Amino acid sequence: MAANLKGPVAHHFNNLNQQLTTVRMGMWMFLVTEVLFFGGAFCAYTAYRVWFSSDFEAGSAALNVGIASVNTFLLLTSSLTITLGIRAAYAGNPKKLRNYLLATIILGVAFLGLKGREYQLDYQEGLIPNVSVLTPEAQKVVNERIAKDPGKADEKVYPFNENLAVVLHHEKFKGEPFVAYDPFRVQLFFMFYYSMTGLHVLHMIIGLGLLTWQYILACRGFFDYNARYVYIEAMSLYWHFVDMAWMFLLPLLYLAGPHSASQALEQFKVAIGLAGGTH
Amino acid sequence: MDHDHTHTHAHGAGAEMHSQELVEHEVAPNAKSLTTFAVLAVLALLALFIGFSNLGEWKVVANLLVATVQACILAFFFMDLRQADKLTWLIALSSVFWTFLMFLFILTDQLTRHLGVL
């Protein structure tokens, strides 16, 4: 992207062909490091998933699969729009290129918006490991338990565990209630959930920043030399990689537990305010 | 935009190299990209269908298989590996190889430990 604005060949390259090859290969090499970066997280997840499979499935059952499903298609569509953007750049059509870049940015922002809403709902349901606050529903359950057996008043209460139990027994939204799980191991699942989706979100934010930069450059006529399409191409490689990472996050985190299509629909309605939530 | 001599010359040379590159680099028509997208979308629906089914322990295997097919299609068509040179293929496949090694050596240790200590 550091190419001068007066010609398509940057000063440190001998010719355009060398520049195109270098830019493409540089991005592919960067993506190798990215694969290994995400690979480490996936590898750790695999080790614990094999050990604690039913606990991880219980954790997955508590996630909002409705938002994840919609986000999958948003990201997939953004992969299409950026690909069409490259085609427009190849064809030397800057106006179409700008439109496709803008569409990609909008789809990416929509993904992040929904992701933010998902984190907010998780927070409201008290599904943060080591959280110190009981949700009103969980407080009610604890109170009822103590009322039935006053001897349990001295027992230590772990808010995450109580909140999780409420979420997993809320049949309308979360499917079949889970019985056989260790809530402390589910906390481990949630650590993976937050760190892996957090890493993905970080990549999305960086990608959106770069896309916005390219959109500004496109508006300034930088891509009027259509030979500069290689920068869009390099950006698209990164964006497709982010999409690819999501293709594996979806089944490993969201689809690991029991879910249903009707539950996903209900969860999405709650997320966009068309139905009441668990709270 | 200004059109000084350097600029025009660079543009001319660029256009020549660009058309050369386009001869070697086939530009896929939009219809082809739309078909690729449709296939990826159908596979995403399949992943959700499997996720909502009751396949037990096979669910994750089936879903990872779908994700792998999706990733291959994405890399082959959208990321244009289909017409990449051998060196790019080598770089792309090296990521799979190094990841495989990482999984192999870490998991052979982790998954063969005595589970009683956990």
Residue A273, phi then psi, degrees to nearest 5: 85, 15
Rounded CA-CA distance A69/A66 in Å is: 5
Contact B107 A46 (CB under 8 A): yes
| Domain identity same for B40 and B22 | yes
- The kind and range of the H/E element at B79 are none
Contact B22 A90 (CB under 8 A): yes
For residue B16, the model assigns a pLDDT of 53
For residue A173, the model assigns a pLDDT of 52
Rounded CA-CA distance A229/A85 in Å is: 9
For residue B26, the model assigns a pLDDT of 66
Contact B95 A35 (CB under 8 A): yes
For residue A9, the model assigns a pLDDT of 80
For residue B1, the model assigns a pLDDT of 37
Contacts of residue B96 in chain A, CB cutoff 8 Å? Answer: 35
Residue (of A186, A160, A174, A248) closest to A49 by Cα position: A186
Rounded CA-CA distance A141/A147 in Å is: 10
CB under 8 A, 24+ apart: contacts of A197-200: A197/A115, A197/A249, A197/A253, A199/A37, A199/A38, A199/A41, A200/A242, A200/A245, A200/A246, A200/A249
Tally of structural domains, chain B: 2
Domain ranges of chain A: 16-132+161-271
| Domain identity same for B53 and B74 | yes
| Domain identity same for B75 and B89 | no
The alpha carbons of chain A give a radius of gyration, in whole angstroms, of: 23
Residue B79, phi then psi, degrees to nearest 5: -90, 5
Site from A255, A265, A267 to mutate, B interface, most B CB atoms within 10 angstroms: A255
Q: Give the pLDDT confidence of B91-109 residue by residue, as tens digits.
A: 999 999 999 999 999 999 8
Residue (of A235, A264, A220) closest to A72 by Cα position: A264
Report field, pTM of the whole predicted structure over 0.80? yes
| Domain identity same for B23 and B70 | yes
For residue A179, the model assigns a pLDDT of 61
Contacts of residue B89 in chain A, CB cutoff 8 Å? Answer: none
For chain A, 279 residues long, give each residue's pLDDT as a single digit of tens.
Answer: 444 444 678 888 888 888 888 889 999 999 999 999 999 999 999 999 999 998 999 999 999 999 999 999 999 999 999 999 998 888 888 899 999 999 999 999 999 999 999 999 999 999 999 887 999 999 999 999 899 888 888 888 899 999 998 888 865 555 555 667 899 999 999 999 999 999 999 999 999 999 999 999 999 988 877 678 888 999 999 999 999 999 999 999 999 988 889 888 988 998 888 876 654
Host domain of residue B88 = 84-118
Residue A118 contacts by C-beta under 8 Å, 6 or more apart in sequence?
A: A64, A67, A68, A271
Q: Give the pLDDT confidence of A127-143 residue by residue, as tens digits.
A: 999 887 999 999 999 99
Hey, what CATH class is A16-132+161-271 in?
A: mainly alpha
Q: Give the pLDDT confidence of A56-104 residue by residue, as tens digits.
A: 999 999 999 999 999 999 999 999 999 999 988 888 888 999 999 999 9
> Does ipTM exceed 0.85?
yes
Q: Does A145 touch chain B (CB under 8 A)?
A: no
Contacts of residue A40 in chain B, CB cutoff 8 Å? Answer: 102
Q: Does B53 touch chain A (CB under 8 A)?
A: no
Distance from CA of A45 to the nearest CA of B (A): 11
Q: Does A20 touch chain B (CB under 8 A)?
A: yes
Q: How many CB atoms lie within 10 A of CB B31?
A: 8
Residue (of A279, A111, A276, A139) closest to A208 by Cα position: A111
Inform me whether the pLDDT recorded for B23 exceeds 60: no
For residue A1, the model assigns a pLDDT of 44
Which of A231-235, B21-25, B108-112: highest mean pLDDT? A231-235
In chain B, the residue whose alpha carbon lies closest to the alpha carbon of A43 is B103
Contacts of residue A226 in chain B, CB cutoff 8 Å? Answer: 18
Rounded CA-CA distance A48/A56 in Å is: 8
For residue A17, the model assigns a pLDDT of 83
Contacts of residue A247 in chain B, CB cutoff 8 Å? Answer: 44, 47, 67, 70-71, 74
| Domain identity same for B56 and B13 | yes
| Domain identity same for B93 and B45 | no
Select the residue of B7, B14, B107 nearest A227 (Cβ to Cβ).
Answer: B14
For residue A116, the model assigns a pLDDT of 97
